[in-house]
Amino acid sequence: YRRTQWLHGPSPVTTFGPKACMLQNPQAVMHIQDPASQRLTWNKPPQSVLVIKKIRDIALLQPFKELCRFLTEVKSMLVYVERKVLEDPAITADENFAHITKKFCTFMEDFDDISNHVDFIICLGGDGTLLYASSLFQESVPPVIAFHLGSLGFLTPFKFDTYQSQLTQVIQGNAALVLRSRLRVRVTKGGIEKNGLSLTNGEVDKALHTDDYQVLNEVVVDRGPSSYLSNVDLFLDGHLITTVQGDGLIVSTPTGSTAYAAAAGASMIHPNVPAMMITPICPHSLSFRPIVVPAGVQLKIMLSCDARHTAWVSFDGRKRQEICHSDSISITTSCFPVPSVCFRDPVIDWFESLAQCLHWNVRKRQNYLSADDDEDD
Amino acid sequence: YRRTQWLHGPSPVTTFGPKACMLQNPQAVMHIQDPASQRLTWNKPPQSVLVIKKIRDIALLQPFKELCRFLTEVKSMLVYVERKVLEDPAITADENFAHITKKFCTFMEDFDDISNHVDFIICLGGDGTLLYASSLFQESVPPVIAFHLGSLGFLTPFKFDTYQSQLTQVIQGNAALVLRSRLRVRVTKGGIEKNGLSLTNGEVDKALHTDDYQVLNEVVVDRGPSSYLSNVDLFLDGHLITTVQGDGLIVSTPTGSTAYAAAAGASMIHPNVPAMMITPICPHSLSFRPIVVPAGVQLKIMLSCDARHTAWVSFDGRKRQEICHSDSISITTSCFPVPSVCFRDPVIDWFESLAQCLHWNVRKRQNYLSADDDEDD
Amino acid sequence: YRRTQWLHGPSPVTTFGPKACMLQNPQAVMHIQDPASQRLTWNKPPQSVLVIKKIRDIALLQPFKELCRFLTEVKSMLVYVERKVLEDPAITADENFAHITKKFCTFMEDFDDISNHVDFIICLGGDGTLLYASSLFQESVPPVIAFHLGSLGFLTPFKFDTYQSQLTQVIQGNAALVLRSRLRVRVTKGGIEKNGLSLTNGEVDKALHTDDYQVLNEVVVDRGPSSYLSNVDLFLDGHLITTVQGDGLIVSTPTGSTAYAAAAGASMIHPNVPAMMITPICPHSLSFRPIVVPAGVQLKIMLSCDARHTAWVSFDGRKRQEICHSDSISITTSCFPVPSVCFRDPVIDWFESLAQCLHWNVRKRQNYLSADDDEDD
Amino acid sequence: YRRTQWLHGPSPVTTFGPKACMLQNPQAVMHIQDPASQRLTWNKPPQSVLVIKKIRDIALLQPFKELCRFLTEVKSMLVYVERKVLEDPAITADENFAHITKKFCTFMEDFDDISNHVDFIICLGGDGTLLYASSLFQESVPPVIAFHLGSLGFLTPFKFDTYQSQLTQVIQGNAALVLRSRLRVRVTKGGIEKNGLSLTNGEVDKALHTDDYQVLNEVVVDRGPSSYLSNVDLFLDGHLITTVQGDGLIVSTPTGSTAYAAAAGASMIHPNVPAMMITPICPHSLSFRPIVVPAGVQLKIMLSCDARHTAWVSFDGRKRQEICHSDSISITTSCFPVPSVCFRDPVIDWFESLAQCLHWNVRKRQNYLSADDDEDD
């Protein structure tokens, strides 16, 4: 198949009839490399690799050891592994392998910053390993190649069987990439807010505490351990768009649209569509359908004035925290995507995953066909 | 509100960790003016205007006359009107107005081509008037300003009350625009196709008959007058993606996502998201959820090999025709969008319409609130 | 498993607190045999059997012949077969079998009434055969035993492999039955109606033309061959309940809830629940959710006063006809159910079909499990 | 409107064709008074009334006082009120009213059993007051008349304005009732279960601890405060029907189908349909549609063998508790319904509530109509 136009869509003709045209505004022109042509290259040969393994999963043990041996002994790479992975008794019990692990760099989450030391990332296990990898890199993320052992995941397109040839290719560069957009989320605690606009002076600013998160799948605001759901206001570009009454609200990337948002009823969005998905969780209103908004809008979520209970927020299922009346959650699309190596290409990979992970449009096979179904329903 | 990043989303940082980056491919770089900054300007002052009025709608009669008088007498515009609009007895009966209509240019659909004579378009009535306007312009579309008289539409954001000032502003230029993408649909009849790829030689080519359509809302493939639904194959970039068993399939623009696709269960997409929506109509499979794909993919729809009945296709609800075994429907995003003048801005206008046209997330008002709802559900 | 209460649910205690109770009304007391204990018996041994075969389905040919031989030669039954089934060239070409067919009783649909001559019915093929069988019996329906050859159907629970023993058991009686309720639908053409109440005098009565149908799955009112959907009013017990704007409306039995209604988004209802399901088809309103009402309500469907197009009605996908402004469609639960022989019991059979026909809640198998999924989504 | 058949539906004719009929089983015959004819009567005149008021709701204060005065002084009733209602400072501050409260009977929840002392119940406030009333009566429930002050509720059909005449009528008897079925839920802690069947010996039995609940809306099993959802097995009549992966599971009465189940996507069921609704909450599987099963089935919910996290259960939003591996939740329809006094009749009341509480099928009004919509979508 030879693509005849950009995956992003064609540039629109900007003359409208005989006399009208679009007002030129050079400052507002974006230069985007078309998603279908995004490929990996290396400034210098990669030397260090972070291996992320789902912990305490026995089925992954042997593949993990094999992979590490290959990287260390065949490819002469410096392998980074999280300390807790190596502390697994099943690892430490294997003396042969323990010998090799001495050459590894180990680190602890939230303690050691490895973000400038890792040239690429290998994930081994389910989609969760990629969410975890994303969480380790708050800014630029090294390329990720992700292997599944059991069944295909949305984020883990590679079979482990052929890992040697796959990795060799990636190390040589020129692999197809999908840039999975992330959300930059800022939680502001203790601010004084009104109608979504901060009204802060110097003193209040000091009291403010903000935390930033990079999110690959979704931000979830829900009722947490409470039986009572809170009213939550959603602002878009500073305007109050709607109030959520229900179990909560999901703001997801296209990548996240096939995760929790799909469970909550959203349509699925291909990761190369520049958009955010807003999905209510069990809304009281029958007409609260999910919506898809441009990637560049600025969302803000706060408790409603009249909310009688707090809400809880989590980021890719982690870092769950309470949201009180003076707090706000700001969400925009991040400029630091996760560059994932594609197995075939971004479009084919995605439809493979839809079929295999979500059984999308699986139908009963017609076991026998007839020339006429006039009597059939 | 001052936007701090492009509505389209930020340009992604394209270095990935210390050593990786995106392979530069200048030929694949798009230069896109950010949707939020798209504004109308004029190369020369507009002189001709097409007025589209829903026919036989009595409530529109007086506004239509007023508007035409204003355009002709105050603005000295040359007014284009479809002949059948003027043939309405309610128009011809008014001698005073008949006098003015003599200055109009009239035309007949499918007979006269006015596409190079109209500087801008005014729509009066429901969303249907804009679909109709779109159908008259198969390539570049002049700017459209659309008025509703009763209730707000997705495509008709302006109230008629203040039409004089609104039109004066548009004629002066510098109005905010939303470029509503269209689909370019090609129906190929009588081709010999296999697996979505044309296998044609010279002779067959001669036999082929193709028709092109520009579609603003959606292409619908359904069972037409038949009681029996046909199996339809959907190809994306030449690959068979899925087979549709059910009442049919909708391929819609973001603009169309709030029309028939919403009725069929789709999430709603803002018109500035470069995407296409694929929505099944009453699918047999419980797991056939709507999906959103990048605007640049190439879709093709054909009857399945084993389909026992034909299917029917329509374009924005018009030009309904039968699809047989050798026919195919190709769909891509067109490079000729419909430039619609915004009432406020593309984002605010859309949420207004969601609320007023679709009652999106309308909830029961809590008429009285208490400090505690422990006893409440 | 031993059921400890009726499948229908327990009889409610009808004293309410120390002093209140339900007003006794012996005329309003129903005597219902609990669905779980409904079993077939014979007043006299059955002698005649109607065999319904999906026509022109080659895979069914051999089983059909085998079955007819068994019924005729082993069981000495009188076999009824529709004439067009025997006219199939694949049947007439087989001289050996043609010899046997001479002993059959043949009939033509809409011409011969066999409703008092058939002791039981055997269906061979898909669910459509049972819908067809139902249409032949406008009042009492003989017991039906339905075989699938390919994949299990909702209405065809028996595998053909063991047909001899299954049929022998049924002929002996004492098989578990599920009484599948039907809808009695009356189409009144040309009546003068207002607000759902007939205002007819003698003369008008003469002009009225009514048709009655017994429906096993559903009545569908839709836009038929028209591109334009009509507004349709739904009355329940004489009250206007709602107006449908969209592609149409489905009124289905619980049996039909897993057919077209499921495709249109309805929840699935077990056939032993005494209810009707009302499901809109692609409604304009986001909040038009399907509803389930008691089996005994009286529904009436008419075009709305302001409807600008006609609607079309069909009955189990058959007998499609146009509905104009003076027509009405009355729907109630029929007192003539279809008694279907169960494979195991009504509950187990249904869940088997949900899984196999609709892939209900099919999930991705977790191929490997770990003790901790903290890193997993 | 004069009903021509029972609301429950007609008794099916039980002869099937010329020779078959239903096997008579007198022990399995239920005698049910048709729902449409269920009316309240009194064995003796009612003397005591429980008044339930949403606490700390200022808007209810004046109506509550008025009502209590009327009951005490005009109707000479003995008024029961929960102690915490009277301890509201807004009540105690009013000396005039405090004087009257001395005549009231007060009680404390979970401490005093009033179930045999109350002749009828008056609810004042939202639907929550009726859920609360239900929870106070684990067996027979006195008749309930429920008033809303702000907006109509599903469970609170009466306007307060005319409370005097309404109450006078009820006290005289002969009011229409809807018997709202409840679920009897038994939570068994610490049992040893396998495949949904208890394998317990004497010693284990002693260790077992069971709790029973009567539930008017729904039983919810969810992940509680955990971020991780657990796998939950659903058994029906002892068979494993399905496994739930997702946020949880709702088992609701028809009354509850318009509450949390509707938010989770269920169809709405009229309260006179003898059924239970099973609705997943945000299921992983796209094909996990809600289902409606006969009221008499026996459901059991347990953690799956391989569940790695516990689940939580709650009853009408109350009494939330953790469910561990050896625990099970058994659910059947209770024989103790809540007899609610209807405002008009069970059917009309329900559709009123659908429209007003859930905005069911609220559509944009067509503000102007034309004779032709050929140009309209």
Instruction: Please identify every stretch of chain A with a pLDDT value under 70, giving residue numbers as ranges.
Output: 191-207, 363-377
Q: D33 - beta bridge partners?
A: C29
A48-175 is classed CATH 3.40.50.1820: no
For residue range B7-65, list pLDDT tens digits in order: 999 999 999 999 999 999 999 998 889 999 999 999 999 999 999 998 878 889 999 99
Handedness of CA D112, D118, D123, D128 (dihedral sign): positive
Choosing among C11, C19, C332, C369, which should be mutated to test the D contact, i.e. which has the most D CBs within 10 A?
A: C19
SS3 state at D357: helix
- Exposed, middle or buried: residue A115 (CB in 10 Å: 0-12, 13-18, 19+)? middle
Choosing among A21, A23, A366, which should be mutated to test the B contact, i.e. which has the most B CBs within 10 A?
A: A23
Of B59, B60, B128, the CB nearest to D377: B128
What's the CA gap between A146 and A216, in Å, rounded? 15
Residue D360 DSSP one-character state: T
Q: How many CB pairs under 8 A join A and C?
A: 122
CA C36 to chain centre: 19
Backbone angles phi, psi at C221, to 5 degrees: -110, 120
Side-chain-facing half-sphere of D256: CA atoms under 13 Å: 31
D chain contacts of residue A55, beta-carbon cutoff 8 Å: none
Domain ranges of chain A: 48-175, 183-333
What's the CA gap between A45 and C133, in Å, rounded? 73
A chain contacts of residue D279, beta-carbon cutoff 8 Å: none
pLDDT at residue B364, as a whole number: 56
The answer on pLDDT for C146 being more than 80 is yes
Indicate if ipTM > 0.90: yes
Residue C234, token pair as written in the block: 């739904």
**Mean per-residue pLDDT over chain D, rounded:** 89
Any A CB within 8 A of B263 CB: no
Residue A58 DSSP one-character state: G
The answer on pLDDT for D369 being more than 50 is no
What's the CA gap between B157 and B68, in Å, rounded? 20
What's the CA gap between B76 and D92, in Å, rounded? 77
What's the CA gap between C282 and C246, in Å, rounded? 5
- Give contacts of D 302-331 with C, CB under 8 A: 306, 308
CA angle D185, D190, D195 (to 5 degrees): 75
Average pLDDT over residues B241-260: 96
Neighbors of chain B with 3 or more C-beta pairs under 8 Å: A, C, D
What's the CA gap between B187 and D216, in Å, rounded? 57
Known catalytic residues of B are: 127
What's the CA gap between C274 and C334, in Å, rounded? 11
What's the CA gap between B377 and B373, in Å, rounded? 8
Query: Model confidence at C366, in pLDDT bands (50, 70, 90)?
Result: very low
What's the CA gap between A170 and B19, in Å, rounded? 13
Which of these is catalytic: C119, C127, C222, C316? C127
SS3 state at A179: strand
CA distance D248 to chain C (A): 13
Pairing assessment for the beta strands D268-269 and C291-294 based on DSSP bridges: parallel
Residue B295, token pair as written in the block: 């605007």
For residue range D6-35, list pLDDT tens digits in order: 999 999 999 999 999 999 999 999 888 999
What's the CA gap between B105 and B78, in Å, rounded? 7
CB contact under 8 A, B284 and C263: yes
For residue range D82-95, list pLDDT tens digits in order: 999 999 888 888 99
Contact (Cβ atoms closer than 8 angstroms) between residue C292 and residue C277: yes
Average pLDDT over residues C9-15: 93
Residue A186, token pair as written in the block: 């800022």
CA distance B352 to chain D (A): 13
CB contact under 8 A, D287 and A227: no
Pairing assessment for the beta strands C338-341 and C120-124 based on DSSP bridges: unpaired
pLDDT at residue A376, as a whole number: 38
Contact (Cβ atoms closer than 8 angstroms) between residue A18 and residue B119: yes
Neighbors of chain C with 3 or more C-beta pairs under 8 Å: A, B, D
- What CA–CA distances, in Å, run from C232 to B277, C298, C313, D46? 29, 16, 12, 47
For residue range C240-281, list pLDDT tens digits in order: 999 999 999 999 999 999 999 999 999 999 999 999 999 999
Any B CB within 8 A of D132 CB: yes
* Residue-wise DSSP of A318-340: EEEEEE-TT-EEEEEE-S--EEE
CA distance C319 to chain A (A): 12
Average pLDDT over residues D201-221: 78
Query: Model confidence at B375, in pLDDT bands (50, 70, 90)?
Result: very low
Any C CB within 8 A of A89 CB: no
What's the CA gap between A265 and C221, in Å, rounded? 27
What's the CA gap between D96 and B29, in Å, rounded? 81
The residues near B196 (Cβ < 8 Å, ≥ 6 apart) are B233, B235, B238, B239, B240, B300, B302, B328
Contact (Cβ atoms closer than 8 angstroms) between residue B88 and residue B56: yes
C chain contacts of residue A125, beta-carbon cutoff 8 Å: 375-376
CB contact under 8 A, D151 and B377: no
- What CA–CA distances, in Å, run from A351 to A131, A176, B234, C75? 20, 16, 12, 54
Which range has the top average pLDDT, B198-212, C43-57, D350-364?
C43-57
Residue B37 DSSP one-character state: G
- Exposed, middle or buried: residue C107 (CB in 10 Å: 0-12, 13-18, 19+)? middle
Contact (Cβ atoms closer than 8 angstroms) between residue B296 and residue A9: yes
Which has the closest alpha carbon to D228: C373, A261, A262? C373
What's the CA gap between D329 and D321, in Å, rounded? 11
pLDDT at residue D62, as a whole number: 93
Contact (Cβ atoms closer than 8 angstroms) between residue B216 and residue B316: yes
Pure H helices in C44-144: 61-69, 83-86, 89-92, 95-101, 127-136
C chain contacts of residue B264, beta-carbon cutoff 8 Å: 282
Residue D69 gets the label, from left (phi > 0), alpha (psi -120 to 50) or beta, of alpha
- Exposed, middle or buried: residue A206 (CB in 10 Å: 0-12, 13-18, 19+)? exposed
Higher pLDDT, D328 or B226: D328
For residue range B153-188, list pLDDT tens digits in order: 999 999 999 999 999 999 999 899 999 999 999 999
Residue D129, token pair as written in the block: 């007051």
* Residue-wise DSSP of C252-265: E-TGGGGTHHHHTT
CATH architecture of D48-181+337-358: 3-Layer(aba) Sandwich (3.40)
What's the CA gap between D142 and D171, in Å, rounded? 12
What's the CA gap between A191 and A205, in Å, rounded? 8
What's the CA gap between B272 and D50, in Å, rounded? 58
What's the CA gap between D147 and C273, in Å, rounded? 31
Average pLDDT over residues C320-331: 94
CATH superfamily of B183-333: Probable inorganic polyphosphate/atp-NAD kinase; domain 2 (2.60.200.30)
Which of these is catalytic: D88, D113, D119, D127? D127
CB atoms under 10 Å from CB of C22, counted, come to: 20
Contact (Cβ atoms closer than 8 angstroms) between residue A128 and residue A332: no
Query: Model confidence at C369, in pLDDT bands (50, 70, 90)?
Result: very low
What's the CA gap between B179 and B157, in Å, rounded? 14
The answer on pLDDT for D365 being more than 60 is no
Ranking C75-89, C189-203, C319-333, D179-193 by mean pLDDT, the lowest is C189-203
Query: Model confidence at C192, in pLDDT bands (50, 70, 90)?
Result: low
For residue range D113-124, list pLDDT tens digits in order: 898 999 999 999
- Exposed, middle or buried: residue C13 (CB in 10 Å: 0-12, 13-18, 19+)? middle
Taking CA–CA distances from A289, the nearest residue in chain C reads C286
- What CA–CA distances, in Å, run from A299 to A55, A185, A328? 35, 9, 10
Q: D321 - beta bridge partners?
A: D313
Per-residue H/E/C for C321-349? EEECCCCEEEEEECCCCEEEECCCCHHHH
pLDDT at residue A368, as a whole number: 36
What's the CA gap between C350 and C176, in Å, rounded? 14
Taking CA–CA distances from B306, the nearest residue in chain A reads A369
Identity (one letter) of the amino acid at C138? Q
Active site residue A127: yes
Any D CB within 8 A of A360 CB: yes
Residue C253, token pair as written in the block: 């039995």
